[in-house]
Amino acid sequence: MRKTTLITGGAGYIGSHTSLALIDAGHNVLVLDNLCNSCRECIARLEYLAHTRIDFINGDICDSSLLADIFSRYDIDTVVHFASLKSVEESTLKPLDYYTNNVGGTLNLCRAMAHHGVFKLVFSSSATVYGDPVQTPILEDFGTGKPANPYGRTKLMIEELLTDLCNADPRWSIALLRYFNPIGAHESGLIGEDPHGRPNNLLPCLTQVAIGRLPELTVYGCDYPTVDGTCVRDYIHVVDLANGHLKALEVLQHHNGIHYWNLGTGIGYSVLQIIHSFEDITGITVPYRFAPRRLGDIAKCWADPSKAGRELGWRAQRGLEQMIIDTWRWQSCNPLGYQSSFEVPALIEVK
Ligand code: NAD
Ligand code: UD1
């Protein structure tokens, strides 16, 4: 039997792009996703892009008997773990759901892995584990801070429990990948970010305004101590992020223990800079209005990605223009996300 990489949450935004990158690099993948924030159509499109059938299981990481069955049936040697609930606002309203799904699900997964002798894991962490950083750019050495919400705290708790696992048992080999702000989409325009319900993140909100699904963009806060008063973030192309996972997997083959890396570009852009870049590149005006600061937002957050550069040989290749072109291609070719009819897209015209 061929060695298999299990990808939890592989039908989601980052998981789908990483699944494709892994298949392209020759990995045999098995996707496990309960589709609570994704859909089956994504897998169909991945199969089209990858020119291969993809093993997909519609199931939940909280289901221990399902995990036992999966680990017995497939020769899994590595897990890339994306499955998580990720809405900050929802996490403040339903903390039990978040701790159960994210922390409980991860515990369940680790138990099943250990039981079946699988000790390599890549975990989707977040810059949120730094809390409000003392300075920017953020280095891994700063240590973790105080995340401002239950979602962030689930990420920090999972980082800590995975660190404890590595300390207790030297067979574990775990990468904590701290993503900054993933945006963009695969250049085909066939897969991209399609959150269920109302989007929370900046780019999905902005493109839904541009496509006419939302009337205007709300810009949260114009009085931050930044270049123009709006918050600054490190936006990273999702395909660059996906490639970071491939590099992390290579390192895990030869280095046991706990590893952590920032995956960002090292460049910060303000909300207004993003809006104006989008308008310049697409020629579309984005109506927006200022509103008070959003609870839990921090003024500035961008990475120092040099540790990933040194240790993984990884660095982001795609700049902001490419991120915006690819985001817009995805949104304009799929106005209703994965509910849009499947069309092989032409390249979009840019100004
Ligand atoms: P996403 O919601 O698109 O993908 C997560 C996937 O996990 C979804 O397909 C969902 O259906 C699935 N899922 C959730 N709970 C599950 C469960 N119990 N069992 C099986 N499947 C389950 O989110 P994303 O943006 O692709 O994020 C992927 C990972 O990266 C998450 O862990 C998220 O917290 C983390 N992350 C995301 C961002 C971001 O801005 N998108 C930033 C930092 C970290
Ligand atoms: C948010 C989460 C973070 C999580 C990440 C990925 C918060 C406080 N942080 O990061 O924990 O890991 O998403 O899911 O929610 N903005 C607007 N108008 C909008 C949307 C966003 O002005 O309609 C602004 C925000 O105030 C922020 C910036 O755009 O300054 C980026 O926001 P977002 O895309 O939500 O990412 P983060 O807040 O950085």
Per residue in 312-321, pLDDT (tens digit) is 999 999 999 9
d(CA 279, CA 185) in angstroms, rounded, equals: 18
**Residue 1 pLDDT exceeds 70:** no
pLDDT at 343: 58
Model confidence at 198, in pLDDT bands (50, 70, 90)? confident
Q: What is the mean pLDDT of residues 108-126?
A: 98
What burial class does residue 254 get, using C-beta atoms within 10 Å of its C-beta: 0-12 exposed, 13-18 middle, 19+ buried? Answer: exposed
The b-or-e profile of 272-295 (16+ CB within 10 A means b, else e) is bbbbebbbebbeeebebeeeeeee
**49 and 172 part of one domain:** yes
Q: What is the mean pLDDT of residues 161-182?
A: 98
Q: Would you name the residues annotated as active-site residues?
A: 151
pLDDT at 197: 86
Give nearest CA residue, ligand 2 atom 38.
Answer: 297
Closest ligand to the CA of 159: 1
Q: Is 181 in the pocket of ligand 2 (CB under 6 A)?
A: yes
Model confidence at 2, in pLDDT bands (50, 70, 90)? confident
pLDDT at 167: 98
pLDDT at 62: 98
Per residue in 29-79, pLDDT (tens digit) is 999 999 999 999 999 999 999 999 999 999 999 999 999 999 999 999 999
Q: Is 236 in the pocket of ligand 2 (CB under 6 A)?
A: no
Model confidence at 350, in pLDDT bands (50, 70, 90)? very low
- Domain of 282: which CATH number? 3.90.25.10
d(CA 54, CA 29) in angstroms, rounded, equals: 7
Q: Is 273 in the pocket of ligand 2 (CB under 6 A)?
A: no
Residues in contact with ligand 1 (CB, 6 Å cut-off): 8-9, 11-15, 33-38, 60-62, 82-86, 101, 105, 124, 126, 179, 181-182, 201
d(CA 191, CA 42) in angstroms, rounded, equals: 7
Which atom of ligand 2 lies nearest, measured to the CA of 205?
23
**55 and 93 part of one domain:** yes
Side chain identity, residue 300: K
Q: How far is the CA of 228 from the centre of ligand 1 (A)?
A: 31
**Residue 278 pLDDT exceeds 70:** yes
Mark residue 26 as left, alpha or beta (left: phi above 0; alpha: psi -120 to 50; beta: remaining).
left
pLDDT at 125: 98
Closest ligand to the CA of 204: 2
Angle at 91 between CA 141 and CA 105, to 5 degrees: 75
**Residue 346 pLDDT exceeds 70:** no
**118 and 105 part of one domain:** yes
Per residue in 224-248, pLDDT (tens digit) is 999 999 999 999 999 999 999 999 9
- Domain of 57: which CATH number? 3.40.50.720
Bridging pattern class, strands 288-291 and 173-179? unpaired
**25 and 165 part of one domain:** yes
Which of 245, 263, 281 is at the close of a domain? 263
pLDDT at 207: 95
The answer to the question of residue 56 being in a domain is yes
**Residue 351 pLDDT exceeds 60:** no
Average per-residue pLDDT for the chain? 95
Give nearest CA residue, ligand 1 atom 4.
Answer: 12
The answer to the question of residue 68 being in a domain is yes
HSE toward the beta carbon, residue 275, CA cutoff 13 A: 23
Bridging pattern class, strands 29-33 and 4-8? parallel
Tokens found for residue 292: 């008070």
Minimal CA–CA distance to 217: which of 296, 298, 276? 276
What is each CA distance from 60 to 67, 105, 142, 315, in whole angstroms? Answer: 8, 8, 35, 33
Task: Output phi, psi for 287, to 5 deg.
Answer: -65, 135
**309 and 225 part of one domain:** yes
Per residue in 281-308, pLDDT (tens digit) is 999 999 999 999 999 899 999 999 999 9
| Residue span of the structural domain in which 300 resides | 202-233+267-339
**Residue 195 pLDDT exceeds 90:** no
Global pTM exceeds 0.95:
yes
Model confidence at 349, in pLDDT bands (50, 70, 90)? very low
Question: For 52, which DSSP code?
Answer: S
Angle at 144 between CA 79 and CA 192, to 5 degrees: 45
Percentage of residues in the chain with pLDDT exceeding 70? 97
Percentage of residues in the chain with pLDDT exceeding 90? 93
**Residue 344 pLDDT exceeds 90:** no
Question: For 103, which DSSP code?
Answer: I
**134 and 220 part of one domain:** no
Give nearest CA residue, ligand 1 atom 34.
Answer: 86
Give nearest CA residue, ligand 1 atom 13.
Answer: 83
Q: What is the mean pLDDT of residues 192-197?
A: 90
Q: How many domains does the chain have?
A: 2
